[in-house]
Amino acid sequence: MKRLLWLICFGALLFTACSTTEVKSEWKDTSSKGKIGKVFVLAIVNQPTSRRAVENGIVNLLNKDRLRAIPTYETFPDVEKIDKALVAQMVQEYGIDGVLVVRLVNLEVEQTYVGGTYAGNLYPGGWYDYYGAGRAVMLSPGYTIENYTSTVETVVYSLATDKILWGTVTDTKENVVPKAIDSYLKTIDKSLAASGLF
């Protein structure tokens, strides 16, 4: 019996450790046969820490055996002010032929109410039973849980044609931002590998 309980707990742990990100759709330009040599990685995120985490995460995924990706947060710390002329200059300097852009498409918040202690119908039990039930509810009231689903679009542009070569939309169900980013990166790693662009 103990072994069965241990197996159930271990299975639950494995399940919760799995990625909470799901690919909703994916698209590839089948007319384009070339590969991308080097890309700039641009995460359109206002929060600098999250932007760095996303850009560095993708750069690390793509640069496993050689330089394929360069983050943009150091050159363009303000995501609202990207200088296109400076990008063109850096494209020449670094030999960049693509841009990988990540953006949040939607953030959905689902609220779930969890009821507090409920003792049932105690009207016939007298005032003291009714008081006890009210006290139990007061000490253990209901509460609301917010669950977040982040919809993220990731696209790769060719700089030669200024056209999208590949794109994917993912949904991540995670309430903690660093965990959501980690989950997204695990899923996008597989998608980028399967894209055949790198």
Residue 14 — pLDDT band, cuts 50, 70, 90? very low
| Per-residue pLDDT tens digits for 39-82 | 999 999 989 999 999 999 999 999 988 888 999 999 888 888 88
Look-up of token digits 């991308």: 36
Q: Is the dihedral of CA 90, 92, 93, 95 positive or negative?
A: positive
Chain mean position to CA 16: 16
Per-residue burial over 175-192, b if 16 or more Cβ lie within 10 Å, else e, is eeeeebbbbbbebbbebb
Task: Spell out the domain ranges in the chain.
Answer: 20-111+149-195, 114-143
| Per-residue pLDDT tens digits for 136-157 | 777 777 788 889 999 999 999 9
Does the pTM exceed 0.75? yes
Q: Can you name the CATH fold of 20-111+149-195?
A: Double Stranded RNA Binding Domain (3.30.160)
